[in-house]
Amino acid sequence: MADSNEMTINLVVLGRTQAGKSAAGNSLLGSSDFESHRSPSSVTTCCSLGRSCRILGIIRRNGCELPLRVRVLDTPSYPHSGLSKEQVKDTVRSALVHHFGEEGLHLALLVLRADLPLCPDESNQAIQFIQELLGPTWKDFTAVLLTHADKAEEAGFSEEAYLLSASSTLLSLLSSVQHKYIFLDNQKSFIKEERAIVLRKLLNFMRQNNYQVLLKHSKQ
């Protein structure tokens, strides 16, 4: 995760079609590495890795600023309009081992839209997929990223009010991942200060998990 001069965090974004995975990945990287647009079919069909530049002003060690690098693995959606569940799972698993097998995966980000209700079937599908992908400790390494929070805000919901009005399905999911969730405002996500807030929250989730990683040394 870190050498003496900088820290690197490894993330994967997961979710269904049009949830905003690729856009969220771009926000975390501060770039436009991943193709992202509205489409009648699933846009992402293979995994791709994006890397940020050195980011300053996020973390300090022993009183000194420590540069941060972010690596994000973008993945095909599940359910997918053109790929089976097994095809998506095999593609993502292979990419995780290839890119993160040496250093390990710090967090999987399940991307959900804050402006759409989460139905039980959708939640169950997502949980089963992540369980099969990450294994029995998936809850420790999964956080929920709620995109389009700006649209929920436009409808009159603050983050607190949103959670008070959220479905039991969403609340149960958030509880299962130890309330590791972040609201992402799509209109502000590329603003430096907003990005810094999100990255600090992700680092805090990692600290709560004692900076453990998945997949380390599993690369063939």
Looking at residue 161, which CATH number applies to its domain?
3.40.50.300
| Domains of the chain: total | 1
Q: What is the pLDDT of residue 188?
A: 65
**pTM, to two decimals:** 0.91
Which single residue is written with the structure tokens 């009010």? 161
**175 in any annotated domain:** yes
Q: Is residue 154 a part of any domain in this protein? A: yes
Q: With 60 as the cut, is the pLDDT of residue 97 above it?
A: yes
pLDDT at 217 over 60: no
As a whole-number percent, the residues of the chain with pLDDT over 90 amount to 62
Tell me what pLDDT residue 198 has: 93
> Do strands 181-183 and 55-61 pair parallel, antiparallel, or not at all (unpaired)?
unpaired
Is residue 53 one of the residues assigned to a domain? yes
What is the band of 219 on the pLDDT scale with cuts at 50, 70, 90? very low
**pLDDT at residue 3 greater than cutoff 90:** no
Q: How confident is the model at residue 220 (pLDDT cuts 50, 70, 90)?
A: very low
The mean pLDDT of 106-127, rounded to a whole number, is 94
Domain that holds residue 191: 7-209
Q: Which residue is listed with tokens 């990255």?
A: 199
What are the b/e assignments for 196-219, b being 16+ CB within 10 Å? eebbeebbebbeebeeebbbeeee
Residue 51 within any structural domain of the chain: yes
Confidence of residue 93 (pLDDT cuts 50, 70, 90): very high
What pLDDT is recorded for position 152? 87
> Are 88 and 65 within 8 A, CB to CB?
no
Say if 220 falls within a structural domain. no
42 vs 47, higher pLDDT:
47
Distances (CA, A) of 22 to 75, 106, 122: 8, 18, 19
- Which of 111, 112, 69, 61 has its CA nearest to residue 199? 69
pLDDT at 143: 98
In a domain, 214, yes or no: no
Q: In the predicted model, what is the mean pLDDT of residues 59-87? A: 89
Q: Does a structural domain hold residue 34?
A: yes
Q: Which of 14-23, 62-71, 124-133, 209-218 has the lowest mean pLDDT?
A: 209-218
Residues 23-36 have a mean pLDDT of: 86
pLDDT score recorded for residue 35: 78
